[in-house]
A = this chain, B = another copy of it.
Amino acid sequence: MTGDPHDEHLEPVYESLRKRGHRITAQREIILQIFREQPHGTHLSAEELYSNLLGRGSTVSLATTYRTLKLLSTLGLLRELDFAEGHKHYELKQDKVPHQHIICISCNTTIEFEDHFLEEAGQKIGARYNFEVIDAQFKIFGTCPACKASPPTGRTMRHNKNP
């Protein structure tokens, strides 16, 4: 994209780390790399990221995976998303317009959409309360067309867990 791949450490992402006294380790680099490779809008859970890491031969531990996700989220480099599934998801925070989510509480399907107004609203409202805004998330929970048509089962519904 920018040309020289060795400019990496000059990227704002690494600046954010350095600025606050955090070190740039191989583990943090590869984790950020994985997020960069994801199609825009992809959100990974800690386990998914960990599997991806193992898949490419990395020896990053699960503990470090969690620690890194938390750190990067705190720094505002990742968005921490919660779809009420019992675990969190993370995605790289782009400079572009962030997207928001619609989540089906029956099948967990998520649909993404962009909305400039919501972004601005987050900034404005945060400013109103003197908050330093890291991320604004708009989430719509409901039932998707498919699940409206055919409920999971006739009886007590259940979220998809281990299919």
Contact = CB atoms under 8 A, between A and B. Distances in A.
Protomer copies: 2
Interface of A: 74, 80, 82, 84, 88, 102, 104-105, 111, 113, 115, 117-118, 121-122, 125-126, 128-145, 148, 157
Given A80-B84, A125-B115, A143 B134 contact: yes
A157 B82 contact: no
A9 to B, nearest CB: 22
Given A88-B84, A131-B102, A131-B104, A138 B121 contact: yes
A126 B74 CA distance: 30
User: Which of A84, A113, A138 is packed against the most chain B CB atoms within 10 Å?
Assistant: A138
25 contacts: A74-B105, A74-B157, A80-B141, A102-B129, A104-B131, A105-B134, A111-B129, A113-B129, A115-B121, A122-B140, A126-B140, A126-B142, A129-B145, A130-B145, A130-B148, A131-B140, A131-B144, A132-B142, A132-B148, A134-B143, A135-B140, A135-B141, A137-B137, A137-B139, A138-B138
